[in-house]
Chain A
Amino acid sequence: MKDLMFFLNLAHRDRWWLRLGAALAALTLLAGIGLLSLSGWFITAAAIAGLAGAGGAFNYLFASGGVRGSALFRTLGRYGERLVTHEATFRILAELRLWVFERATPLTPSRLGRMRSGDLLARVTQDVDALDTLYLRLITPVIAALTGVVFTSALLAFTAPAALPGVLGVFIFASLILPAWAARRSTAPGQEIASQSALARAEASDLVAGLAELKAYGADQRFVDRLDRANTGWINAQRQIAGQSWLNTALLSLSAPTSFVLGFALAVSSGAAAPLAALAGLVAFGLFEAATPLIMTAELYGKTTRSARRLKALDELTPDVIEPSAPQSLPERWDIAFKAVHFTYPGSNRPVLHGVDLTLAEGDRLALVGGSGAGKSSLIKLLMRFYAPRSGALTLGGAAMERLGLEDTRSRFAVVDQRAALLSATIGDNLRLAHPEASEKELWTGLEHARAAAFVKALPNQLDTWVGEQGGLVSGGQARRIALARAFVKNAPVLLLDEPTEGLDADTEADFLDALTAWLDEDARRSMLIVTHRTALLDHARTVAVLDQGAIAATGPAHGLAGHVPEFDRLFPNQRARPR
C-alpha cells in the first residue's frame, strides 16, 4: 500500500482531480442507492396511506423530490465521474512515466541495460503498464465502496439497526473474503498459466524463426505438435481457473439478493414498519453495485503492488558511474589513453579486461580486433562512461575521465554500435537526436557521408519517413546507414564504431569505408576507434590493436602484425597470403 501511495503522491499537483473523481464516483453510488431505496420506501408508504384512505394527506413532496433528485445526481454523477477520473488517470500516467524516465536515465545501461540478465528495462516497461490502472481500477472503487458502506450503515442505524450486522456481513464476505479466497485458490493455476504461456511463446518463436531449418529436415510437424501441446496445456490451465471461479461468480451474484432478503427480514423481525423494512432491503441491495469493481481491485492489487515495489526500487539503485559534483572543464585535446584498465561487468564475476593499456592519439585511426568475447565492445562502453573501470585509469585529453562531466565527455564521441538502435520517429528526428539544431542541409550531408542519401531521397516522405519499430519501411542495412549518418551529424571529433558494416553487402561496405575515410580526411584532428573482424576495414586504420583474453596482445600496422603475431593470424588467416 505504501508503494502505491508513493506513486499516487507523484501526482501531487493534480490531487484535486483525483479527489474530485473519487468524490463523484462515491456520489454516483450513493445516488443509485438513494434512488432505489427511496422509491421503495415511497411506494410502500404510499400503499399504506392509500389503504388507510389517507392518500390525500400524504406529504409526497419530499419523496418525489428525492426520487427525482437522486435520478438527476445519478446521471450527472456518472457522466462527471467518467470524465474526471479519466482526466486524473492521464495526469497520473504522465507523472509516473516522467518519474520512471528520469530515474532510469542515469541507470542505463549499467543497471538496466539490455546486456544485463533478464533485460530489466523491458520489465520496467511492463511495470509501468501495470500501474496504468492504479487510480481507475484500484483507488476510486475502494473510496466509492467505503463511502457507500458508511452511508448505508448510517442510514440503517437510524431506520432499521437490526439489519445492519447482516448486511455488512454479506458485503464484507462478497467484497473481501470472497476475492481473497479466490486469489488464494488461483495462485497455483496462475503460476501454471504463467509457465505454460511462456512455454507456448517459446515454442511459437522456435517454430516461426526456425521454420527454414525445420522444413529442411522435415521436423516442422514435430514442432507444430510441440506448440499444440504447450497450447493445450496453457488453455487447460486457464480452464482450471475458469472451473474454479464459477463458484465465486455464483456467490457474488447471490450476495445482492441475499443481502436484500437478510436486510428486510432482520428489519421486520425487529419490528420495523413496512416502508422502513423495504428501505432496509433495497439499501442493502443497492450497495452491492460497489462490490463488483472491488473483485477486480483484489485481482489487480497484488500485481500492481509488486510492480510498484519494483519501480520504486529504481530510486535506490545507484549508477555504475557517478557524475562528479564539480566537474573539471573539458580539455581542448581528445587524445585517449587506457592505463592498466581492469573491468568486470557489475553483477558478473568474470573479468572482461585485465590490464588494458592503449592510446588513441588525436587524429589517429585505430582498429581494435579480437575474438568474440574478448572485451572489444566494453572498451567503447568505458569510453562512453556507461561503466567505470574497476581499477586503472582512462584519460581524455590528458584529464582523468572521472573528473569530467558525463555530457561533456560524451559530446566528444559519436558512437555507432552493432544494434544501430533507431527510435520510432521520422528519419529526420532520428538524425536530429545527435544535433537538435541541425539544418536540413546538415542532415543531408550526414546522409551523403553514410551513403544513405540515395535511398532516403527515393522514399516518398524522405526525411519525414517513419522508421524504427513502428516503421518497418527500411531494411536492416538501411537502418545501419541511418545510424551512421546520425553519428556524422553529431560531428563529434572522435568516432567510435562497433562493427559498423555488419549487415552491409560488400559494395556498400566499400562505399561506406571510402566515405568514412573522406570524412576523417576533412579534418586532421578527427580520430576513430573501430571494432571489427572484417578484413576490409583494417586498411582504413593506421594502427591495429589485437585484444586477446582481456589484454592488448600487440599493436602496430596490419601488415606488420601479419605473420608475426599469432593472435592476429588466427583472426585473419588470409591476411598473410594477401598481396599488399
Chain B
Amino acid sequence: MPGTMNTTDLSAPNARAAEKARRVALDALLKTWGAPAALQTGLSAALGAIQYALFAGFAWGAASAVNALVTGAAIRPGLSLALLCAVLRALAQAGETRCGAEASALARRSVRREAAQALTRKSPAETERSESGQTGAALIDAVEKLDGFYGRYRPLTIVVLAGPFIIMTAAFMASYVIGLFFLITAPLLIVFMALAGAGAAAASSDQLSTLQRLAGRFNDRLQALETLNAFNAARREQAGLATASEDFRKRTMKVLTLAFLSSGIMEFFAALSVAASAIYIGFSLLGEMPFETGESPTLRTGLFVLILAPEFYMPLRRLSAAYHDRADAIAAAQALEPFFESGKDTGGTRSARRIIHAPALRFETVGSVYADGRRGLESLSFEAGAGQITALWGASGAGKSTALKVLMGYAPLSEGRIWIDGEELEGGLAGQAAWIAQRPRMFHGTLKENITLFDDSLSDAIVQTAASAAGVMDFAASLPDGLDTEIGEQGYGVSGGQVQRVALARALAADVKVLLLDEPTAHLDGETEARFLTALKSAARGRTVLIATHSPAVRALADRVIDVVIADKGCA
C-alpha cells in the first residue's frame, strides 16, 4: 500500500513537469518558426505601439478645439492637429496589420516548406502508420492555423507593454491624478483578470474541445447516415444528438458564467476610468472637489484624458481577444512536431552505388526491428538471381513486405546483411528501384505525368514505349485525350487493374533495373490479374523482380519462390 501511495504522489508532479516541459518545447518550436519573420513582427509591433502616441495627439487636438470654442479662440488648429494625427494613426494601424500579415505569410511559407522537406527524410513506413490523411492535413491546415499567432498575437505581446505605457505617460503629463489612476488600476486589472481567468481559461479550453467534440459527433453521424439507415438507427441517433447538445449547452453556460467575468472586468475598468475622469475633472472645474489634489486641471487636459482613457485598456483587450490564436498555434505545433523530430529517420540513407544492369540480390539472415520496437522481419536468407522473377511467398504478417522495405531502405536493416552483385549494400535502393504496392498512388495530373512523375527529361517516345509495354495504351488509346487525360486525386476513372499498369509503366519509363512489388494483385479479380501479369512478364525482361504475394497466379509466374515463414511459428 505505501508503495502505491508513493508512486501516485510522485507521478502527479512528474506529469505536471512533463506537461510543462512539453509546453516549453512547443513554445521554442513556435519561436524558431517565427525567426524568418522577425523583422516584420518587430515592425508590426512598433507601428502598433506608435499608434497610441498618435492617438494621444488626436485627443490633444480634439480637446484643444473644444477648449478653443469655450475660450473664443480659433478651433481650426486643434482640429487640424486631430485630423493629422488621426490620418497618421490610421496609416500606422494599417501598417501594423500589413506587417503582421507579412510576418505570418513568411512564417507559414517557410514552415510548410521545411515540414515537407523534413517529411521526405522520413521513412514512408512511418507516414503509413499515422493516418496519411492526417499528415497531409497537418501540412495544410495546421500550418494555416499559425496565421493568427504570427499575424496578430506575437506583435501584440509587445504592443500590450508599450501601448499602455505611452498612454499612461501622456496622462501623467496632463494630470498626475489620472496618471496615478491608470498606474494603480493596471496591476489591479491584471490581478482580477488572472483570478477570473485562471479557472476559466482551463475550463474554457476544455469547453472548446467539447464543442469540437460535439460538432465532431454531429459530422461523424451525418457522414455515417447510410450505415445508420441500414440499421434503422437514424432516429435514435438524432435523439442522442439532441440530448448531447442540450447537455453541452448547460455545462458550457455554467463555465462561461465564470469565463465572461474577465471581459466584464475589462469593461468595468474601461468604463470606470472614463466615469472617474469625468467626475474628477468636472468637479475640479466647478470648484466642488471635496478635497485638495494639488493640481487644477483645465478643460483641455480634462477632455484630453477623457478621450484617452478607454484606449489605455485597448491593447490588453485586443490581446485577450487574440488569445485563442495562441491556443491554435500550440495545437498546430503539436500536429507539426512529428515532422521535425529527428533521430527516427530511417528513410534517409540511400545507396551511393548506381545500378546499371539487373543485379543479383542476396539476403543473409536479415532481420528488421522498427523504431517503436515492433519486429517486422526475422532472419530471412535467400538469393534472387539477376534478371529473374523471385516470389516471396507466405501468409500475411510473415514479413514479406518488410523484406522489400528493408531492401528499399524504408525499414531498418537491424540484423544480417544484404549483398548486391556480391557487394554489401549500404543504405537502401530508394531512388533507383520501382515500388508497386497494393494500391499505387495516382497523382493529380495526366496519365503521362503519372508515368513520368513530372520528370521532364523523359521524352515522349520513352513514355509511349513504356505505356505500350505496360498495357496502359490498351485503355488509354480509347480515351479522347490519350495519355494527356487528366486523372483525379485517387485515380478517378482509372480502375484498379489500370492503376497497376500505370505503376508498371512508371518503372519502365524510369528504366530502373530492380522492381519491388508488394501484393500487386491483391485487389484484382482473376481476369484483371491475368492481364496485369502478362504485362509484368514482358516488363521483367532484363530486370530483377521481387514480388511479395500470396496469389497462386503470381507464384506461377515466378522463376523462383521463397517461402517466408513467421519465425517463431516456424520454430514451434
Chain A positions within 8 Å of B, measured between CB atoms, are 31-32, 35-36, 38-40, 42-44, 46-51, 55-56, 58, 60, 63-64, 67-68, 70-72, 74-76, 78-79, 82-83, 86-87, 90-91, 93-94, 97-98, 100-102, 104-105, 108-109, 112-114, 121-122, 124-125, 128-129, 197, 200-224, 226-228, 231-232, 235, 238-239, 242-243, 245-247, 249-251, 253-254, 257-258, 260-261, 264-265, 268, 274, 277-278, 281-282, 285, 371-373, 384, 386, 407, 410-411, 413, 415, 421, 423-424, 433-434, 436, 468-470, 472, 486, 490, 502, 505-507, 533, 570-574
Asked if A239 contacts B136 (CB within 8 A), the reply is no
Asked if A260 contacts B62 (CB within 8 A), the reply is yes
Contact of A79 among B230, B261, B552 (CB under 8 A): B261
Contact of A70 among B257, B271, B281 (CB under 8 A): B271
Closest to B431 in A: A218
Asked if B303 contacts A121 (CB within 8 A), the reply is no
Given contacts A83-B257, A94-B249, A216-B435, contact A101 B271 (CB under 8 A): no
B477 close to A (CB within 8 Å):
no
Q: How far is the CB of B177 from chain A (nearest CB, A)?
A: 14
Q: How far is the CB of B123 from chain A (nearest CB, A)?
A: 9
Asked if A468 contacts B220 (CB within 8 A), the reply is yes
Asked if A55 contacts B286 (CB within 8 A), the reply is yes
- Which residues of chain B in 69-110 are interfacial with respect to chain A, using CB atoms and an 8 Å cutoff? 69-70, 75, 79, 82-83, 85-87, 89-91, 93-95, 97-98, 101-102, 105, 108-109
Asked if B526 contacts A573 (CB within 8 A), the reply is yes
Asked if A372 contacts B274 (CB within 8 A), the reply is no
Asked if A101 contacts B222 (CB within 8 A), the reply is yes
Asked if A47 contacts B299 (CB within 8 A), the reply is yes
Q: List 27 A-B contacts (CB under 8 A).
A: A31-B271, A35-B274, A36-B307, A67-B278, A75-B267, A78-B263, A83-B257, A97-B241, A109-B225, A125-B223, A197-B140, A204-B116, A205-B133, A212-B128, A215-B347, A217-B453, A242-B102, A242-B105, A249-B90, A249-B98, A251-B90, A264-B66, A371-B525, A410-B231, A472-B131, A506-B550, A570-B527
Asked if B124 contacts A212 (CB within 8 A), the reply is yes
| B residues less than 8 Å from A433 (CB atoms) | 227-228, 231, 233
Given contacts A46-B286, A202-B489, A224-B120, contact A574 B223 (CB under 8 A): no
| B residues less than 8 Å from A231 (CB atoms) | 109, 112-113, 116
Asked if B552 contacts A574 (CB within 8 A), the reply is yes
Given contacts A231-B112, A469-B220, A533-B525, contact A226 B86 (CB under 8 A): no
Chain B positions within 8 Å of A, measured between CB atoms, are 58, 62, 65-67, 69-70, 75, 79, 82-83, 85-87, 89-91, 93-95, 97-98, 101-102, 105, 108-109, 112-113, 116-117, 119-120, 122, 124, 127-128, 131-133, 135-136, 139-140, 213, 215-238, 241-242, 245-246, 248-249, 252-253, 256-257, 260-261, 263-264, 267-268, 271-272, 274-275, 277-279, 281-283, 285-288, 298-299, 302-303, 306-307, 310, 347, 395-397, 408, 410, 429-435, 437, 440-441, 443-444, 453-455, 489, 495-497, 503, 506, 510, 512, 516, 523, 525-530, 550, 552-553
Asked if B113 contacts A228 (CB within 8 A), the reply is yes
Closest to A380 in B: B230
Q: How far is the CB of B513 from chain A (nearest CB, A)?
A: 13
A205–B140 CA distance with the chains assembled, in angstroms:
9
A91–B82 CA distance with the chains assembled, in angstroms:
46
Asked if B282 contacts A42 (CB within 8 A), the reply is yes
Contact of B70 among A67, A109, A274 (CB under 8 A): A274
17 further A-B contacts with Cβ under 8 Å, apart from A50-B287, A246-B95, A434-B231, are: A46-B282, A47-B285, A60-B282, A70-B271, A78-B264, A78-B267, A79-B267, A105-B235, A211-B122, A212-B410, A215-B120, A219-B454, A235-B109, A239-B102, A250-B94, A372-B496, A410-B231
